[in-house]
Structures are given as structure tokens and as C-alpha cells.
Amino acid sequence: MSIQYEYHHERQKDLLLNIKTYFDLDRNETIFQKRNILKRVPFEGREYIVKSFKTPHLINQIAYGLFRDGKAKKSYYNSMKIVDFVPAPIGYIEFKKGFLLKESYFISEPFDYDFTIREPLTTPDFPNKTAIYHALARFTHQLHQRGVLHLDYSPGNILIKAHQGWYEFKVIDVNRMAFKTLSTQERLENFSKLWASDEDLATIIHEYTKISKINTDNALNIALKASHQHKKKTNLKRKIQGKEILD
């Protein structure tokens, strides 16, 4: 078994090189567990967020081992490009058997957020919804101005910490991103995975167009069309899989 790794601070090198041992400790708090596993891992008096990626299927084991960067590596490299927008990256490590990628981990510092954007989007009486949506529009505009297109810009991937009179945003799951000059169409379609109601999306888009100085009516048409198409496509897929249709 060979390893490939990179880290940001020397003090976390031992954590990275012995990540399997630290990750499996009983004292860890599991934050999320589906395909991938996310844990809060204590190390030398501090806590870190460690994401263990599911072993890819054989074709991707070969692809990630020989031709493309794996998800942990992309998470680290993408985070380093946009450190102001993400929880502080620490490092990544990959374990390969021959040329096949078997296990991989990405480590970051925790961001002690209060809620994700999902909560105001799904809670009718959530406090300060309009202010939060306006802050989201400004945050997204900053990302776009930096040439950053988060390809999974969905509710659970947008973390929010409430401060006195303002909101701090961070994005996670950043292994799928594009870095380029964005067209107006790409910018507006980037909101489609929020699964927002038409009314909530309109509030977000109105603020976004004020900042970016683009035509509001045209922008709203583009954003709503992309949102409707995403919902239709997702629900069709869920129907085929025998899952409950989402509102």
C-alpha cells in the first residue's frame, strides 16, 4: 500500500500520516454517514473535521489512481484556492494498492456554524429570512466574481454563522468546482440546486441583480427555469428509484 499526501501545517503531519488510527477512535463524533463519513476528530488539544471518502468502484479506482485527481486531493486543492470561503483546509491523504485508489481522507478545521441555508429555505417562520437571503446573494456574488463555480451548490453545503448584525458563510463539499470567468447564465443557474421556492429564489435573485447590475426580470426567468428543471429532473429520478417525490 502506497500513500500520497499533502498538508498545510507541520503540526498536523502526525494526524495525517496516522489518519486511519485516529479516525477509528471511539471518542470521535460522527457528523454524517452515508456514502462518505464525516467525523470530528480530536488531536493534541484541538478538533478537526475528517472526511473519509467511500472506496470508488473499480473503474474510478483506476481513473483516480492514474489519470485524475481523487476527491480528497481535489477537496484540498480547491480549498487552498478559496481559503476565505471554506473551513480552513489542513491536508489530504490517499492510500493506493498498486495504481488503484482505495482509501482517501480530507482534513479541515471545524467551522462552528449555526445553521445551513436549508433551515430558512424550509422553515416558514425562520427569523430574518430576507436578511439571510440577501447575505447569501452577496456571498454567492463574491464567489462568482472570483471565478468560482461550486457544482454542488446545494442547501447542506452552505454553512452560516450568525454574528451581531451580519452572517458569515462557508461552503463545503468542494471537490466538484470549476474555476473560470462565468457567464451571466452560469451565475444564475448556479442557484438551481438550492431547492428554493419561487418566492424565496426571487428574493435572492433580486438582491444578486442589484449587486451585479444585471436585468432583474431576465435574470429571474433564467434562475426560475433552471430551478424548475432541476426539481423536475430530480423527482423523475426519485420516481424511477421508487423514492418519495420532493415538494
Strands 89-97, 100-108: pairing is antiparallel
Domains delineated in the chain: 2-108 (3.30.200), 115-240 (1.10.510)
Q: Which of 178, 172, 171, 169 is nearest to 151 (CA)?
A: 178
pLDDT of residue 177: 97
pLDDT of residue 236: 87
Q: What are residue 150's DSSP bridge partners? A: 177
At 82, list the grid cell. Answer: 478559496
Intervals of the chain under pLDDT 50? none
pLDDT of residue 158: 98
pLDDT of residue 241: 83
Q: What is the DSSP letter of 65?
A: H
Q: What are residue 39's DSSP bridge partners? A: 30, 50
Around Cβ 130, how many Cβ atoms within 10 Å?
A: 12
pTM score, whole prediction: 0.94
Burial class of 44 by CB neighbour count within 10 A (0 to 12, 13 to 18, 19+): exposed
